[in-house]
C-alpha cells in the first residue's frame, strides 16, 4: 500500500510559514505584490487564478488581476507588462497561459522583467535552470521537488522517467531531477515501448495530460509515482494521468488528484513572489 503524498497538507504548512514571513516584511514597510494577467475568458484559467488569489490573501501578499479582452493587441499587452515592470509595488508578474493565437507567447514572456518572473518561464531563468544555477523555477516542478524533500525521497542514483516534454513541466522537471543526481529519461508521445521503459523507473512523473493513461503495467514495485495530470472523465470528474486504484498498490509513494501536485504549484508561486520581493527590496 503506497504512502500518500499529501500536497494540500504540505502546501498549507508552507503557506503558514510564508504568512509569518510576510508579516515580518510588513513590519519593515515591505509589502510583497503580485500582478496576474488574464487575456480572455478561459474557465480553467479563471479557476486557477481564483485559487491563486485565495492563497495570496491567506499569506498576505497584495494580489491584483488584470483581465483583458481576448482581442487585445499584442502591442497593447506588451505596453501593460512594461507598466508593471516599472512599478516598484509589484514584485511578481505572471501572464496566465495559453494566450490567444494572435499574440506571440515567446515575445510576451521575454517582455517580463526576469527579476519579476515568478513563474520561471523567462528564457533567461530557463537558461539558468539548465546551467544548474536556478533563480526562478517553473512552479509545478519546483513544488514536486518540495514534495520529495518533505517525504525524504532520496533521488541520488535513482532512475527517473518524466512523461511529457512541455516547457512548463517536463523539461524543467528533468533538469531538477538531474540536479539531485537522478538518471533521467524523457518520454513523450513518440516514445516506443513506453510501459516497459517506465517499468524500469524508480520515480515516475507523469505530465502527459491523458486521463488514466498510466496503468499498473507502467509501474514497478516500490516506485514513486507523481501525477501532474488534470483531466476530466466522461462524467466531468477531475482525474489524473494515473489510474490511481490500479497503480497505488504497487507504488511506495503516490500523489492523489486532486489535492496532490496542484496546491503545491500555487504555493511555489507565492514563495517565489516573496523571494522576488526580498531580492528587489533588500538587495
Q: Does one domain contain both 161 and 228?
A: yes
* Burial of residue 72 (number of CB atoms within 10 Å: 0-12, 13-18, 19+): middle
12 a catalytic residue: no
Q: At 129, list the grid cell.
A: 535552470
Report the pLDDT value the prediction gives residue 281, as an integer from 0 to 100. 96
Q: Which residues are annotated as a binding site?
A: 164-166
Q: How far is CA 54 from CA 15, 42, 138, in A?
A: 11, 19, 20
Q: Does one domain contain both 93 and 176?
A: no
Counts for the chain of helices (H) and strands (E), in that order: 10, 11
Residue 75: give its domain's CATH number. Answer: 3.40.50.10860
202 a catalytic residue: no
Q: Splitting the chain (283 residues) into consecutive groups of 10 residues, what average pLDDT does each group show?
A: 95 98 98 97 87 96 97 98 98 96 96 98 97 96 98 98 97 98 96 98 97 98 97 93 97 97 97 98 89
Q: What's phi and psi for 184, nearest 5 deg?
A: -110, 130
**Active-site choice (6, 15, 96, 227):** 96
Eight-state DSSP code of residue 26: H
Residue 153: give its domain's CATH number. Answer: 3.40.50.720
Q: What total number of domains does the chain contain? A: 2
Q: Does one domain contain both 255 and 195?
A: yes
From 81, 114, 147, the end of a domain falls on: 114
**Active-site choice (119, 202, 227, 241):** 119
**Active-site choice (6, 15, 52, 227):** 52
Report the pLDDT value the prediction gives residue 61, as an integer from 0 to 100. 98
d(CA 30, CA 22) in angstroms, rounded, equals 8
Please, are residues 139 and 269 in contact by the beta-carbon 8 Å criterion? yes
96 a catalytic residue: yes
Looking at the DSSP assignment, which residues form a beta bridge with residue 224? 203, 253
Per the confidence metrics, is the pTM higher than 0.85? Answer: yes
Q: Does one domain contain both 228 and 182?
A: yes
Q: What is the CA radius of gyration of the chain?
A: 19
Q: Which residues are annotated as a binding site for NADP(+)?
A: 164-166
3-state DSSP call for residue 164?
coil
Cis peptide preceding 239, ω within 30 of 0: no
Range of the domain at 109: 31-114
Q: Does one domain contain both 176 and 88?
A: no
Q: Does one domain contain both 146 and 96?
A: no
Put residue 199 in one of left, alpha, beta given phi > 0 → left and psi -120 to 50 → alpha.
alpha
Q: Does one domain contain both 155 and 189?
A: yes
Strand order in the sheet with 33-39: 62-68, 33-39, 92-95
* Burial of residue 151 (number of CB atoms within 10 Å: 0-12, 13-18, 19+): middle
- 53 part of a folded domain: yes
Please, are residues 174 and 205 in contact by the beta-carbon 8 Å criterion? no
- 202 part of a folded domain: yes
Report the pLDDT value the prediction gives residue 45, as an integer from 0 to 100. 87
Would you list the DSSP string of 69-129?
A: -TT--HHHHHHHHHHHHT-TT--EEEEPSPPPTTS-HHHHHHHS-GGGBTTS-SHHHHHHH
Q: Does one domain contain both 99 and 145?
A: no
Report the pLDDT value the prediction gives residue 79, as an integer from 0 to 100. 98
Amino acid at each position: 500500500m503506497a504512502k500518500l503524498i499529501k500536497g494540500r497538507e504540505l502546501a498549507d504548512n508552507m503557506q503558514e510559514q510564508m504568512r509569518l514571513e510576510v508579516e515580518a516584511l510588513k513590519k519593515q514597510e515591505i509589502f510583497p505584490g503580485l500582478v496576474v494577467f488574464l487575456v480572455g475568458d478561459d474557465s480553467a484559467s479563471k479557476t486557477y487564478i481564483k485559487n491563486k488569489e485565495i492563497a495570496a490573501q491567506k499569506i498576505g501578499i497584495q494580489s491584483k488581476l488584470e483581465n483583458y479582452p481576448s482581442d487585445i493587441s499584442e502591442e497593447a499587452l506588451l505596453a501593460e507588462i512594461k507598466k508593471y515592470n516599472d512599478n516598484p509595488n509589484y514584485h511578481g508578474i505572471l501572464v496566465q497561459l495559453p494566450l490567444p493565437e494572435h499574440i506571440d507567447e515567446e515575445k510576451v514572456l521575454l517582455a517580463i522583467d526576469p527579476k519579476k518572473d515568478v513563474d520561471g518561464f523567462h528564457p533567461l531563468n530557463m537558461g539558468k535552470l539548465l546551467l544548474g544555477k536556478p533563480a526562478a523555477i517553473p512552479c509545478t516542478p519546483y513544488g514536486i521537488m518540495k514534495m520529495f524533500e518533505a517525504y525524504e525521497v532520496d533521488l541520488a542514483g535513482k532512475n527517473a522517467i518524466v512523461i511529457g516534454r512541455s516547457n512548463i513541466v517536463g523539461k524543467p522537471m528533468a533538469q531538477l531531477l538531474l540536479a539531485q543526481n537522478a538518471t533521467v529519461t524523457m518520454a513523450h508521445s513518440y516514445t516506443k515501448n513506453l510501459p516497459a521503459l517506465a517499468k524500469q523507473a524508480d520515480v515516475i512523473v507523469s505530465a502527459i495530460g491523458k486521463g488514466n493513461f498510466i496503468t499498473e503495467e507502467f509501474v514497478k514495485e516500490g516506485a514513486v509515482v507523481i501525477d501532474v495530470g488534470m483531466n476530466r472523465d466522461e462524467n466531468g470528474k477531475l482525474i489524473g494521468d494515473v489510474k490511481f486504484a490500479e497503480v497505488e498498490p504497487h507504488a511506495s509513494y503516490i500523489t492523489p488528484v486532486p489535492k496532490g501536485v496542484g496546491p503545491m504549484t500555487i504555493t511555489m508561486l507565492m514563495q517565489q513572489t516573496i523571494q522576488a520581493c526580498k531580492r528587489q527590496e533588500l538587495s
